[in-house]
Amino acid sequence: MEQLAFLSADQVRTIQRQFGTPVFVYSQTSLENQAQSALDFPNPYGLTVRYAMKSCPSAAVISILNRLGLHIDASSGFEARRAMRAGVAPEQIQITAQQLPEDLEELVRQGVRFNACSLHQLHSFGQLFPGGELCVRINPGLGSGHSNRTNVGGPSSSFGIWHEYLDQVITTAAQHDLNITRLHSHIGSGSDPDVWQRCARLTLDIATGLPQVHTVNLGGGFKIGRMAGELPTDLQAAGQPIAEEFERFAAEHGRQLHLEIEPGTYFVGNAGALVCTVMDLVDTGSDGYTFIKVDSGMTEVLRPSLYGAQHPIVVVPAQDENRGQHLYLVAGHCCESGDILTPEPDNPEGLLPRLLTEAQIGDSVVIGGSGAYCAGMSSKNYNSFPEAPEVLLASDGTLYLARQRQTLDQILANETLPDFLKS
């Protein structure tokens, strides 16, 4: 059976009583440890580590990581402004977005950096800032990930400018007298050092055609081990061949390129947990399944329904006592047949019961590995359930409320009823 990661059973019970459920909990110690590991990534000529804040945009998380020296990768203009409100300096933020921010001009003038992800974006930036300096994102033709839905490189991905269009990038930049000083590529969420090395080489080959480039950002996530037996990426093993590629490039081209990386899940995935409560227990007969129904689900953790992603699940009895074990499916609280937290791996259509501590109504259930792409990527307000609060477990063991639970009034705040329906 899975074990609690950074919480004790007593802490889980305290959180359930003090803050109610469902509630996200983030560990400051875990965040700091993961950040330091990334800051030690092999680099021959300097390193900037960015936090892909889309994985968990909590102000508390952003502030902790930024205080340690991490910069920010923002996926929209809104994320950039959110990071600034959390105290991040504009010049430490880079926007890499599918949609061109409407307020791009203002953001850039404040100091935010921009990464053009298409020829249209490059041209639009040139119109706003002729003679300006920016980064371009190139799809090098290679990608990786645990599924096609997390692979953001290669011919099946819309992210970045296809590498065969480099001549058009150079022409467009020349038309606007732009200085392309940074190059970005992104291959997804893989852990194979060989794939990272090949992608690094492809990206550096592209850099040979962009003589003003002094910084190369190898975007992409590093795998973490959410489930028992899953091995996380060894950053030293993954980084060493990349460092060798940068040294090779310097020897051949006389340019010592600064390296950037921008993980998200690596920092926050296992630094977060979702505490919820057993609301009901049902079964479908002797040949069927036994279900634990919790007061959470896809409204907080969408990944199992979306990807068939696996999260460790631990039942914490309401009282400290020894119990037996049972096979359960864990169902969410949404009126949605797909709201299942125990799917088959990588198959949201399948079901895979888990061996868990025997559950009773009122017990806590902890969904581990919920720091990344959970609170920030949920089906929030489905069935009109309010957004869950967030709690920070500080390094001294103190619990701080980092985001309040949403109210029904806040859910409805922007709704208006046309006059003809009021009578």
Q: Is residue 378 included in any domain, yes or no? A: yes
Q: What is the largest CA-CA distance in the chain?
A: 78
Q: Which residue has the higher pLDDT, 157 or 222?
A: 222
Rounded distance between C-alpha atoms, residue 92 and residue 183, angstroms: 16
Mean pLDDT of 161-170: 96
**What is the domain count for the chain?**
2
Same domain, residue pair 395 and 362: yes
Report the CATH number that the domain containing residue 374 is assigned in CATH. Answer: 2.40.37.10
Q: Are residues 276 and 256 in the same domain?
A: no
* Boundary residue ending a domain (211, 235, 267): 267
- pLDDT of 189 reads 61
Percent share of the chain, pLDDT over 70:
95
Say whether pLDDT at 146 is over 80: no
Sequence-ordered list of residues with C-beta below 8 angstroms from that of 171, at least 6 positions apart, any chain: none
Question: Looking at residue 154, what is its pLDDT?
Answer: 60
According to the model, what pLDDT value does residue 147 have? Answer: 41
Residue 23 counted as domain residue: no
Residue 242 lies in a domain: yes
In a domain, 421, yes or no: no
**Distance of alpha carbon 26 from alpha carbon 270, whole angstroms:** 9
Choosing from 267, 301, 336, the residue where a domain stops is 267
Q: What is the pLDDT of residues 364-400, one digit of tens each?
A: 999 999 999 999 999 999 999 999 999 999 999 999 9
Q: Is residue 235 domain-shared with residue 309, that is, in the same domain?
A: no
Question: Does a structural domain hold residue 298?
Answer: yes
Q: What is the pLDDT of residue 360?
A: 98
Cβ–Cβ < 8 Å for 176, 126: yes
Q: Report the pLDDT value the prediction gives residue 148, as an integer from 0 to 100.
A: 42
| One domain for residues 224 and 284 | no
Share of the chain above pLDDT 90, in %: 87
In this prediction, residue 141 has a pLDDT band, given cuts at 50, 70 and 90, of confident
Are 304 and 405 contained in the same domain?
Answer: yes
> Quick one: 262 and 289 in the same domain?
no
Query: Which residue, among 30, 70, 39, has the nearest Cα to 52 in the 3D structure?
Result: 70
74: CATH: 3.20.20.10
Would the pLDDT of 230 be above 50?
yes
Q: Which domain holds residue 302?
A: 270-411
For residues 243 and 201, membership in a common domain is answered with yes
Q: For 5-32, how does the pLDDT look when each residue is reduced to its tens digit (9 = 90+)?
A: 999 999 999 999 999 999 999 999 999 9
The mean of the pLDDT values for the chain is 94
Instruction: Check residue 188 and give its pLDDT.
Output: 60
User: Would the pLDDT of 155 be above 90?
Assistant: no
Q: What is the pLDDT of residues 258-317, one digit of tens each?
A: 999 999 999 999 999 999 999 999 999 999 999 999 999 999 999 999 999 999 999 999
- Per-residue pLDDT band at 187 (split at 50, 70, 90): low
Show the tokens assigned to 257.
């390129």
Query: Looking at the structure, do residues 218 and 299 belong to the same domain, yes or no?
Result: no
Same domain, 181 and 290: no
Residue 243 sits in the same domain as residue 371: no
Quick check: is 21 in a domain? no
Chain-centroid distance, C-alpha 253: 35
**Residue 139 sits in the same domain as residue 125:** yes
Mean pLDDT for the stretch of residues 29-39: 98
Q: Same domain, yes or no, for 174 and 127?
A: yes
**CA–CA dist 96, 115 (Å, integer):** 5
Domain-embedded: residue 171: yes
Residues 61-104: pLDDT tens digits?
Answer: 999 999 999 999 999 999 999 999 999 999 999 999 999 999 99
Asked whether residue 240 is domain-assigned, the answer is yes
The pLDDT value given to residue 151: 42
Final residue before a domain boundary, out of 267, 296, 317: 267
pTM: 0.94
Query: At a CB cut-off of 8 Å and minimum separation 6, what does 116 contact?
Result: 122, 125, 134, 135, 136, 137, 161
Given pLDDT bands bounded at 50, 70 and 90, which one contains residue 142?
low
